[in-house]
Structure 1
Amino acid sequence: MTPRLTAAEQALQALGITEPEEIDIEVIALSLGAKVKYRQLESCEARIVGQAERAIITVDSRAAPRRKRFSVAHELGHWHRHRGLCLTCRTQDIGRPLSDGRRERAAGNPELQADAYASDLLLPGYIFRPMIAEVDRLTLSAVKTLADRFETSMTATTIRALSTNRFPSMLVCHSQEGMRWFRRPPLIPDRWFPRPDLLPESPSFRALFKGGPEPGQPAKVRASYWFDNSMAERFMVTEQTFRLPDGKVTTLLTLDPKMLDL
């Protein structure tokens, strides 16, 4: 059964968009009644002001190109879901990955609703699903190929791939203060909950605390480095890490398929 199109995907199909390279966010915004402007913003990263069927989206001109795209898409989410409200979006409001423990609160959160719309607009399922179906194993190399085509961040693209529930992988983000968030697909049992802190034996620890390079190739490590679980000693997992602009590191963990069957 073909999944039902979301509102964002319907907007794309109305424009005849069938390839990632056709997702011109400013053209899409115009088709939805919003004009995009860029200038330096001090108190927020993006905002939308609208009346009737017309709106102006303003995005901080100092942001990175892919961040600007997501910010525009995020504001279009507000235009679709929260028209009539006055909303300004700070950096921490846009593109916040949702940890498992907060999923139940997503439905009533305007910023998370706008993020969901943005994800559907920039990584539409009807285009993304056939492309990810050709990926046998989720690696950062595979993610980067997709992220470059869709002009999206590594984080957003990985989360979208995990949402297909095809890969025994999870994404975990750490700062030097500890784990900030993680995402895992439903196929991974709840028992595999990441440790709150990185262990020194992990290559991700070295990347975060010692300024080490991002591992070029996936590294196999003991599952116990990542999970405080009595069964973890029996397994190995694969980790790959990339840095975020704010000093955090994010790790793609791939579990041994046998870990899913316990």
Structure 2
Amino acid sequence: MLQELGITEPGEIDLEAIAFHLGARVRYRKLEGCEARIIGRNEAAIITIGKDCSDRRKRFSLAHEIGHWTHHKGQTLVCRVEESAPQGKMSPERVANNYAADLLMPHYLFGPAARVYPKLNFKAVNDIADIFHTSRSATAIRLVEGGHSPALLVCHGLKGRKWFARGPDVPPRWFPRDDLDADSFAFGVLFGKKPDDPMPRKIDAEAWFDRRDAGKFAVHEQTIRSATDEILTLVLINDPEMLEDE
């Protein structure tokens, strides 16, 4: 659809115009209990976005509701917009989230932009997020799951791991620990209030993976604070032996 509309640059992705093209009008109002909603009938719909959200959050919420309008016409759904947590099953919410990611960061534009950055780190994530006007977490998930580099993106809160995304080249045996290891740099950022890591740093793989053979390997870790009590960590795997099928 984006290519049919002649969109050749990320800045040309005008979501309100796209919604109108699909028969939906967009309004911004104060909402209670949700950040966005859609009401439709036949081929017309009204999408309402909470006006108190950040601009990038509004943008993802609008793309999410366009996803529902495209895939779930005629259905009644309780909608939950969640741009930063990959979801396990193919639920309507995951379909809408995936649609939103494709709409905001289409592969034919995202791939060339990502290739400008040969190394995956949060500086690259921030630069690309600014290009596509997307959140840091959504952009990082797109980079990791798109196979930019063999890596995992892991989100931790004070009670442990919240979610993680895995790159397609990383074998499933490398499953991140539930709780942060005290030797990890991430532990110091979350619990010791240390500053964000400026660049990835080398660390024993057993700090991130609870496997007997993890002690043979090393990975690179970079952690940033994503909320008051939440962190995001890139775990980069460079050892080819870790990427071999078991």
Q: Distance in 2 between matches of 1:57 and 1:211?
A: 40
Q: Which residue matches 2:190?
A: 208
- Alpha carbons of structure 1 residues 121 and 214: separation in structure 2 relative to 1, 3 Å: same
Is 1:260 the counterpart of 2:221 in the alignment? no
Q: Distance in 1 between matches of 2:15 and 2:6?
A: 14
- Alpha carbons of structure 1 residues 246 and 44: separation in structure 2 relative to 1, 3 Å: farther
Is 1:51 the counterpart of 2:41 in the alignment? yes
Amino acid at match of 1:30: F
Q: Distance in 1 between matches of 2:208 and 2:144?
A: 18
Q: Where in structure 2 are the equivalents of 1:83-232 lying within 5 Å?
A: 83-90=73-80, 93-98=81-86, 102=88, 105-106=89-90, 109-232=91-214
Conserved 8 A contact 1:44-1:88:
no
Q: Distance in 1 between matches of 2:192 and 2:73?
A: 46
- CA drift of 1:96 comes to 4.9
Q: How many residues of Structure 1 are paired with residues of Structure 2 in the alignment?
A: 244
Amino acid at match of 1:176: L
Q: Distance in 1 between matches of 2:132 and 2:47?
A: 21
Q: Which residue matches 2:8?
A: 18
Q: Which residue matches 2:67?
A: 77
Q: What is the DSSP-based 3-state SS (H/G/I as helix, E as strand, rest coil) of the residue aligned with 2:227? A: coil
Cα deviation digits, residues 35-83 of structure 1 (max 9, x gap): 1111111121110011222211111111111010000000000000111
- CA drift of 1:135 comes to 2.8
Q: What is the DSSP-based 3-state SS (H/G/I as helix, E as strand, rest coil) of the residue aligned with 1:173? A: strand
Cα deviation digits, residues 221-251 of structure 1 (max 9, x gap): 1111101112211222111122223631110
Amino acid at match of 2:214: A
Gaps of 5+ in 2: none
Amino acid at match of 2:8: T
- CA drift of 1:85 comes to 2.1
Q: Distance in 1 between matches of 2:6 and 2:206?
A: 48
- Alpha carbons of structure 1 residues 138 and 65: separation in structure 2 relative to 1, 3 Å: same
Q: Distance in 1 between matches of 2:163 and 2:82?
A: 15
Q: Distance in 2 between matches of 1:166 and 1:64?
A: 28
Is 1:250 the counterpart of 2:238 in the alignment? no
Q: Distance in 1 between matches of 2:120 and 2:181?
A: 24
Q: Distance in 1 between matches of 2:19 and 2:177?
A: 41
- CA drift of 1:29 comes to 1.4
- TM-score for both structures, normalised by structure 2: 0.93
Is 1:38 the counterpart of 2:28 in the alignment? yes
Aligned Cα root-mean-square deviation (Å)? 1.6
Q: Distance in 2 between matches of 1:193 and 1:141?
A: 25
Q: Distance in 1 between matches of 2:25 and 2:166?
A: 36
Conserved 8 A contact 1:35-1:55:
yes
Amino acid at match of 1:260: L
- TM-score for both structures, normalised by structure 1: 0.88
- Alpha carbons of structure 1 residues 246 and 51: separation in structure 2 relative to 1, 3 Å: farther
